[in-house]
Amino acid sequence: RSVPFNGSAFPSLAFRPDRPVEAEIVRAIDASRVMIDIALYEFKSPAILAALRRARANGVRIRLVIDYENMFPRTREGAKKPATRSPELQALVDEGFDLLVLRGMQKFGINHNKFMVFDGAMAEFGSYNYTQTSELNHFENVKFTDHPGHVAAFSVYWMYLRSQAAPFAEAQARVWPTDVPLPPTETAPSVEFNGELFPVWHFSPDAAGEDHLVRLLGAARESIDISMFSFRSTRIAAAILAAKERGVAVRVLFDKSQAQGPNTRIYADWLAANGVTVSLLAGPNPGGPIFSEKNHNKMVIVDGKAVETGSMNWSKNAVIMNYENMHFTTDPVDARAYALYFADMWALSLPLAPPAAAPVLPTDEELVQELLFAAPPAPAQ
């Protein structure tokens, strides 16, 4: 299935490593005639930078909202060398591109979106950061759409992101808010699945995103196939186990590196210890460096008929502290494509051996508290 745009055709879906994604994004940039609005987390693609330069030289207006942590990277404790801004981001700054910087809420919030809107007529979104490692070393999924309502929703959300962002020269000195208004609340059209209604799109920060996922898992009757980079939600973990216990066939595919880290590992072990089938997958290049080889998807296929995907990892932080996008579809062609993609990844994965005992998961309140800045001390009496 193809998506027409300015005389060119783009794939409705693209999966890495099954087909090129970077080249399709470059083609979309080159096909644009008026304006491109971009919200991004990472930017490390010389080819996309070159395409943005060409578009601007041809009179296309380029506007970007860029994540703060990538624009002003912090050197981690124990790092062998200081963190630096990518050459591609530095070029955007040096060359005077129209850009603003956006930081998420509280301790760990980020602008985790990765989407582009081309001439207000086509949008591209998914798990794919605009980096060479996304193209060469990751499992990723991307969707192009020309649905007028969906594209318009991205445009409205982009303006919301812009309203919360700051100019580059002011971003580091800004006192960033610890809470922000919800994204625009225009009602998204609904898709029906097993008696439940789900919005075609949902934007964060908004706690309802976690509610939608819990309801989707609760609606499963036959199967749940999850491919997830990072996971830290006790409510969603409980919904996965509840589905398994009522006879739903559940498969959870975690990124190998994240499943060895402190945030996701406890959930991977808990699910496996409770009888959920869990496997691990790195990137598509066997033997490649673990820091670059990733299963970077954030998606689920339910009963082979309903799909949720987008930028959002299944974590409390992603739902309430990050800027993210989620999408639901019951389109049978898309659902089959996602299911086949999952089957390909599952065949390459390695089972996770369950621990001797299930770890104790943090409560929902504990998950929220670990994200918050410490409360100021009470005034002296």
The catalytic residue positions are 296, 298, 303
Asked if omega into 205 is within 30° of 0 (cis), the reply is yes
Q: 314-315 and 231-232 as β-strands: parallel, antiparallel, unpaired?
A: parallel
Beta bridge partners of 38: 64, 116
What are the CA-CA distances from residue 181 to residues 160, 312, 315, 323 (Å)?
Answer: 9, 19, 20, 12
Cβ count near 191 (within 10 Å): 17
Q: What angle do CA 80, 265, 314 make, to 5 degrees?
A: 100
Q: Which two tokens stand for residue 230?
A: 């990072």
How far from chain centre, in Å, is Cα 366? 23
What lies within 8 Å, CB to CB, of 76 at 6+ separation is 83
| Residue 257 token pair | 């590196």
Which of these, 24, 27, 91, 33, lies nearest to 64 by C-alpha position? Answer: 91
Please classify residue 210 by burial: count the beta carbons closer than 10 Å to its beta carbon, then call 0-12 exposed, 13-18 middle and 19+ buried. buried
